[in-house]
Amino acid sequence: QHFPVVIVGAGPAGLTLGNILRAASVDCLVLETESRAFIEQRPRAGVLEEWAVRGLEQRGLAENLLARGQVHHECEFRFAGERHRFEYASLTGQHHFIYPQQFLVTDLVREYADVRGGAIRFGVRDVELHDLDSERPSVSYTDPGSGLRQVVRADVVAGCDGARGVSRAALPPGYARISRYDYGIGWLALLAEAPPSNDCVVFGMHPRGFAGHMARSPEVTRYYLECPPGDDPENWSQDRVWAELQERLGAAGAPRLTEGRLIEKRVLDMHSYVVEPMSYGRLFLAGDAAHLTAPIAAKGMNLALHDAFLLGDALVTFLTKGDSTGLDGYSRTSLARVWDYQEFSQWLSEVYHGVSSGDPHRAGTTQARLRRLFASPAAARAFAESYLGRA
């Protein structure tokens, strides 16, 4: 079997890439370890930057998102018992879309497999990448139905298999620089069966720890609670979670949070990594396979889409016209935005966690950053630009 492109992983990066290739009549095969039902229900991100939505729209991939996604124009900081609204849309002319990741994945897989006729295999096992430094790389996997080993030859392999995939591990040892940054903090990531308790995202900076409120849908809301890294989610009973959220997100004039059953509760040890370069021979990494951004600034899915746009356009040009300019520049172009978002995430992390660090000096500088956001129009504009991502 031969496909011009084999895409490993059916997340936002892999499926967007597949759709771009199919729109240009480039054949590709997507290999995914999970089932279709599983990826269509896996809740993760939900905040999309406007440039990313417009990129999807231009490629015919945003119909449901534009019809059903919520549009957010502002966010709210709560600190020292007070609420501070931050109107980023009026500063940038851009806004955020709230659309749960599993809805986007559902749309993308439908469009790819059912509308554009793309090939996809779910439930594959033991994916391995071969001969990446040649012009005829291949990918092998165990077919879940027959249990037989399959080999697919390709011109290009796209590694879109997320943080725990096999593509990054296929880089020869010592070839790429992999830099990692540990924030030294944990976040308890929660999904509650409860409507949002505010009309926008809320960031709570509190001496007991950061807390975040992020709308997802009218029925489900994501919350975050800062906790020690490696903490056991079982330490967080339903009662304890809601007591901490009410305390840390409480502020004068803010209504109490609407509580509900917790349907997801897991501890994220906040860290980031970046792989440089993002390609090796005929392997191109995209999304979390190449760079992880701790969900501090809600950037990961946006970066995955950015990679898919760049790589998709570059592959179409390469495979239909033989022009490799886009592919040659892919890693460099992607990494410029990746590093920009990494830097902003570190900056924002200090804003979130300085007050609870136990270090009065860090608490003082954090408070200065927050005050500056509301006192200096230039600082506010700079923040808004980074928060929304430059178009």
The answer to whether the CB of 339 falls within 8 A of the CB of 306 is no
Q: Give dist(CA 225, CA 214) in Å, integer.
A: 12
Distances (CA, A) of 26 to 55, 57, 116, 350, 381: 19, 20, 11, 45, 42
Identified binder of ligand FAD from the candidate list 118, 165, 196, 209, rule CB under 6 A: 165
Q: Give dist(CA 178, CA 321) in Å, integer.
A: 33
Piece of 11-19, 317-325, 348-356, 357-365 that binds ligand FAD (CB under 6 A): 11-19
Piece of 4-12, 243-251, 310-318, 347-355 that binds ligand FAD (CB under 6 A): 4-12
194 lines the binding site for ligand FAD (CB under 6 A):
no
Nearest to 86, CA basis, from 370, 296, 390 = 370
DSSP per position, 53-75: HHHHHHTT--HHHHHH-EEE--E
Piece of 10-18, 192-200, 331-339, 358-366 that binds ligand FAD (CB under 6 A): 10-18
Token output for 53: 């939505």
249 lines the binding site for ligand FAD (CB under 6 A):
no
Between vectors from CA 162 to CA 159 and to CA 165, what angle results, nearest 5°? 70
Q: Give dist(CA 382, CA 193) in Å, integer.
A: 35
Piece of 19-27, 203-211, 292-300, 347-355 that binds ligand FAD (CB under 6 A): 292-300
Q: Give dist(CA 234, CA 224) in Å, integer.
A: 15
301 lines the binding site for ligand FAD (CB under 6 A):
yes
Complex with ligand FAD: residue 279 or 302, whichever CB lies closer? 302
10 lines the binding site for ligand FAD (CB under 6 A):
yes
162 lines the binding site for ligand FAD (CB under 6 A):
yes
295 lines the binding site for ligand FAD (CB under 6 A):
yes
Complex with ligand FAD: residue 33 or 197, whichever CB lies closer? 33
304 lines the binding site for ligand FAD (CB under 6 A):
yes
Question: Where does this chain bind ligand FAD (CB under 6 A)?
Answer: 8-14, 31-34, 39, 44-47, 101, 127, 160-162, 164-166, 189, 287-288, 295, 298-302, 304
